[in-house]
């Protein structure tokens, strides 16, 4: 049986995942407004992934007989700037999410909650992938420098990213 402490902490993580989705949706809108439709599309895919992460946690709580409690989502905050600065913020945000997942793992270990620890392994792997993708984009931007044509080509490339998250959250 899942503890109240773990239930509360997972509910907090659900809110953090939904905030992440909201943040990426706001970033996507800003990128599209400034002519970076491909980057906007990439960020919209991120939005879908973060919502999937939240719903996966919610489904787990339901499966454990625990209550899902949705909290208010703060307005997304990010500093407008260059594409590189945006992706630096994306990486920092994903590092925050990784730290939050690690805290959940530590709590699961303290509570000897093996079911939750097993679920969290999937999230750990997901965060490794998220940070790797962001770091690779930043590396590309570092190589491109101030070359507008290079940023234009990266914008096109990032726009090719397909949505891998299930759109039907009832199948989580």
Tokens of 27: 């970033």
Summarised one tens digit per residue, pLDDT across range 4-31 is 999 999 999 999 999 999 999 999 999 9
pLDDT over 70 (residue 149): yes
Q: How confident is the model at residue 164 (pLDDT cuts 50, 70, 90)?
A: confident
- With beta carbons less than 8 A apart as the criterion, state whether 22 and 76 touch: yes
Question: Among all chains, which residue has been given the structure tokens 């787990």?
Answer: 60
Summarised one tens digit per residue, pLDDT across range 96-135 is 999 999 999 999 999 999 999 999 999 999 999 999 999 9
Residue 167: predicted pLDDT:
61
DSSP string over 85-128: HHHHHHHHHHHHHHHHHHHHHHHHHHHT-HHHHHHHHHHHHHHH
pLDDT over 90 (residue 163): no
Residue 168: predicted pLDDT:
63
Fold of 4-70+79-161: Ferritin (1.20.1260)
- With beta carbons less than 8 A apart as the criterion, state whether 27 and 90 touch: yes
Largest CA distance in the chain: 56
Q: How confident is the model at residue 162 (pLDDT cuts 50, 70, 90)?
A: confident
Q: How confident is the model at residue 171 (pLDDT cuts 50, 70, 90)?
A: low
Share of the chain above pLDDT 70, in %: 96
Summarised one tens digit per residue, pLDDT across range 30-44 is 999 999 999 999 999
Question: What are the residue boundaries of the structural domains of the chain, listed by start?
Answer: 4-70+79-161
Rounded Cα distance between 162 and 73, Å, is: 26
Residue 169 or 5, more confident: 5
- With beta carbons less than 8 A apart as the criterion, state whether 39 and 83 touch: yes
What's the gap between Cα 59 and its chain centre?
A: 17
Residue 91: predicted pLDDT:
98
Rounded Cα distance between 79 and 36, Å, is: 16
pLDDT over 90 (residue 57): yes
Q: What's the pTM?
A: 0.92
* Secondary structure class of 1 (helix, strand, coil): coil
pLDDT over 90 (residue 1): no
């Amino acid at each position: 049986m899942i503890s109240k402490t773990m239930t509360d902490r997972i509910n907090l993580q659900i809110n953090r995942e939904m905030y992440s989705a909201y943040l990426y949706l706001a970033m996507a809108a800003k990128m599209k407004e400034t002519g970076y439709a491909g980057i906007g599309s990439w960020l919209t895919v991120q939005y879908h992934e973060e919502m999937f992460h939240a719903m996966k946690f919610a489904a787990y709580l339901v499966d454990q007989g625990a209550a899902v409690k949705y909290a208010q989502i703060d307005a997304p905050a990010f500093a407008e700037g260059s594409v590189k600065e945006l992706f630096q913020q994306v990486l920092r945000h994903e590092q925050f999410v990784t730290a939050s997942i690690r805290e959940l793992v530590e709590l699961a270990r303290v509570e000897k909650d093996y079911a939750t620890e097993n679920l969290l392994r999937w999230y750990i792997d997901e965060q490794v992938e998220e940070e790797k993708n962001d770091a690779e984009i930043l590396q590309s931007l570092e190589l491109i420098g101030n070359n507008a044509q290079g940023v234009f080509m990266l914008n096109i490339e990032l726009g090719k990213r397909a949505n891998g998250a299930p759109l039907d959250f009832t199948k989580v």
